[in-house]
Amino acid sequence: MNLIAQRPSEWNAVVGQPRAVTVLQAILNNKHLMLRGFLFHGFLGVGKTTTAYLLARALMCQGDDPLGCGKCDSCLRIAETGIDSHSDFKEIDAALYSGVDKAREIMELWGTQTPNFSKRRVIVIDEAHRLSPEAWDVFLKPLEQGNFRTTLIFVSNKADSIAGTIRSRCTQIPFELVHLDTVVGLLANVANRNNITYELDALRLIARHTKGIIRDAVNALGSAAALGLVSVEHVKVIIDTSLEDVCIKLMLAIAARNQKAAIELADEVGRKARPAKAIEMMFSIYGRAVFAEADPNILPIYVGLPETGDVTALFIKWATTPNLPSNIMPLVAFELLKLHGSPTERKARQRAQKAQGGALGSTTGTIKELLRIAPPEGVAVEDIPPTKPSEMPDAIITPQVAAPEEIAAFLSDEPEPMLDGLVKDMVEVAAKGIPVAEVEDEPVAAERHVFVPSGDADGYEDDPM
Ligand SMILES: [Zn+2]
């Protein structure tokens, strides 16, 4: 089912681009402000071409409505046979015709003659960044002139590579990624219009995985509809959600302090995707758990990992570490598991680290420690230089022990509550150098009001309201 061909023919049907629509309508209502060229730029598949067609219709309209009357010859032709067959409208794909010859041909044929039966002629140039410098020279001249009988609309998802001389002579209209709720609304509309039955969760799943790209979202809806009901199950046939599924399981295991399951799942995640991609996915799931109050399936992740600042810092650290080895995911899980504990325990850990002289964390230290824990193939742990105390990262526990034993213990089936034991050690160390009375509770900031269903908190304190 080709749903994408059903482009909106009215301004109010353009979704998710309020800024672009507002600016364009203002210009159409005040044509003395209009330049001869427009540059529509932004992500692929978010409505640039659709909006260019609406602008073209309005510019060609012979009626009184500046936004396009829908009744004049020009508007009626578009409604009946489509804009492509309108003799005053031309669309070229610069990916196919990037050279100077095509540009000259177009401007000679289309750029000078008076329109057949419209107010203006309109030329849309898709993928405009592909035009050669010589071709741009051909378009630059008319952009500088004041002939308003032909309007040029350049469309590009790489506007940065278009010369400043061109950009500054065009009205630049940015297009942004569409908000998730807006995409869900659009999908519901499209489904209703086409008698497609759907589950709302399936539309949410499509919207989330297509990340604000309307074209991809509508295509996924069409593909899922071909299987019958648009259900979560069918959408999962169309869109591979396996990475998200296993990342959610991993985050839930971490939040529930299920160390064994967490390490196994982390290993599975590591086999499914590059670490950078997996970490981005986990970060995004955590963000949803913090803010998506309506999704009880992932809420326990936030309940189990309520320290948003620490969790975010940890994800950002990993996300910005280049060239992560493929087997790093268990260590990421390990660090997340360590974030558990009461504020007292965390404070004690920090003080213990200070007492050990490892107060300053560093990326260099982290990487060295990572290499020791998961040495690259062909490299012996002994060959990796030890980390200096000043480089010692906050996030690696007692790295001098060269972690393998620690990791082995961690991976073993022993129900030994290693982290708890570790915290006790830390409290002891902290107590030696610092009076215990000083190891006070830190108030937990009320970062978010969250509804915790009764019985779902697994013994954790409810979020302070
Ligand atoms: Zn009209």
The domain limits of the chain are 17-175, 180-239
65 CA from centroid of ligand 1 (Å):
7
For residue 259, how far is the Cα from the chain centroid? 29
Lowest mean pLDDT among 190-194, 342-346, 419-423: 419-423
75 CA from centroid of ligand 1 (Å):
4
Q: What is the mean pLDDT of residues 292-297?
A: 68
22 CA from centroid of ligand 1 (Å):
20
User: What confidence score (pLDDT) does residue 206 get?
Assistant: 94
151 CA from centroid of ligand 1 (Å):
17
127 CA from centroid of ligand 1 (Å):
28
20 CA from centroid of ligand 1 (Å):
21
pLDDT digits (tens, 9 = 90+) for 147-186: 668 899 999 999 888 988 889 999 999 999 899 899 999 9
37 CA from centroid of ligand 1 (Å):
21
Burial 201-214 (b: 16+ CB within 10 A, else e): ebbbbbbbbbebbb
The answer to whether residue 412 scores a pLDDT higher than 70 is no
pLDDT digits (tens, 9 = 90+) for 363-395: 455 555 656 665 655 666 676 666 666 666 554
The answer to whether residue 318 scores a pLDDT higher than 70 is yes
pLDDT digits (tens, 9 = 90+) for 222-260: 999 999 899 999 999 888 889 999 999 999 999 888 889
62 CA from centroid of ligand 1 (Å):
5
User: What confidence score (pLDDT) does residue 305 get?
Assistant: 86
67 CA from centroid of ligand 1 (Å):
8
265 CA from centroid of ligand 1 (Å):
60
User: What confidence score (pLDDT) does residue 211 get?
Assistant: 85
pLDDT digits (tens, 9 = 90+) for 121-147: 999 999 999 999 999 998 888 888 766
User: What confidence score (pLDDT) does residue 448 get?
Assistant: 37
23 CA from centroid of ligand 1 (Å):
20
69 CA from centroid of ligand 1 (Å):
4
User: SS3 of 90, please?
Assistant: strand
Q: What is the reported pTM?
A: 0.62
The answer to whether residue 349 scores a pLDDT higher than 90 is no
User: What confidence score (pLDDT) does residue 307 get?
Assistant: 84
395 CA from centroid of ligand 1 (Å):
65
Sheet with strand 89-93: strands edge to edge: 89-93, 121-126, 150-156, 37-42, 170-175
User: What confidence score (pLDDT) does residue 322 get?
Assistant: 85
Question: What is the C-alpha separation between 44 and 22, in angstroms, rounded?
Answer: 20
Question: What is the C-alpha separation between 288 and 86, in angstroms, rounded?
Answer: 46
User: What confidence score (pLDDT) does residue 396 get?
Assistant: 44
261 CA from centroid of ligand 1 (Å):
64
pLDDT digits (tens, 9 = 90+) for 47-63: 899 999 999 999 999 99
Mean pLDDT of the chain: 78
88 CA from centroid of ligand 1 (Å):
13
Same fold, 17-175 and 180-239: no
53 CA from centroid of ligand 1 (Å):
13
User: What confidence score (pLDDT) does residue 398 get?
Assistant: 35
Q: What is the mean pLDDT of residues 311-315?
A: 93
Band the pLDDT of 348: cuts 50, 70, 90. Answer: low
**What is the architecture of the domain spanning 180-239?**
Orthogonal Bundle (1.10)
**What is the architecture of the domain spanning 17-175?**
3-Layer(aba) Sandwich (3.40)
Question: What is the C-alpha separation between 45 and 371, in angstroms, rounded?
Answer: 41
Question: What is the C-alpha separation between 198 and 457, in angstroms, rounded?
Answer: 32
Higher pLDDT, 439 or 152: 152
82 CA from centroid of ligand 1 (Å):
14
pLDDT digits (tens, 9 = 90+) for 100-126: 998 888 888 776 667 888 888 999 999
Radius of gyration of the chain (CA): 29
9 CA from centroid of ligand 1 (Å):
12
User: What confidence score (pLDDT) does residue 110 get?
Assistant: 72
73 CA from centroid of ligand 1 (Å):
7
30 CA from centroid of ligand 1 (Å):
17
312 CA from centroid of ligand 1 (Å):
53
Q: What is the mean pLDDT of residues 17-38?
A: 90
User: What confidence score (pLDDT) does residue 109 get?
Assistant: 75
141 CA from centroid of ligand 1 (Å):
29
359 CA from centroid of ligand 1 (Å):
71
User: What confidence score (pLDDT) does residue 384 get?
Assistant: 66
The most distant pair of C-alpha atoms in the chain lies apart, rounded to whole Å, by 91
User: What confidence score (pLDDT) does residue 9 get?
Assistant: 73
User: What confidence score (pLDDT) does residue 143 get?
Assistant: 86
CA-nearest of 59, 78, 17, 170 to 67 is: 59
CA-nearest of 15, 306, 41, 69 to 160 is: 41
CA-nearest of 125, 143, 103, 2 to 52 is: 125
User: What confidence score (pLDDT) does residue 440 get?
Assistant: 39
Treating both helix axes as pointing N-terminal to C-terminal, what angle do 275-291 and 242-255 enclose, rounded to 10 degrees? 60
Alpha carbon distance, N-terminus to C-terminus of the chain:
48
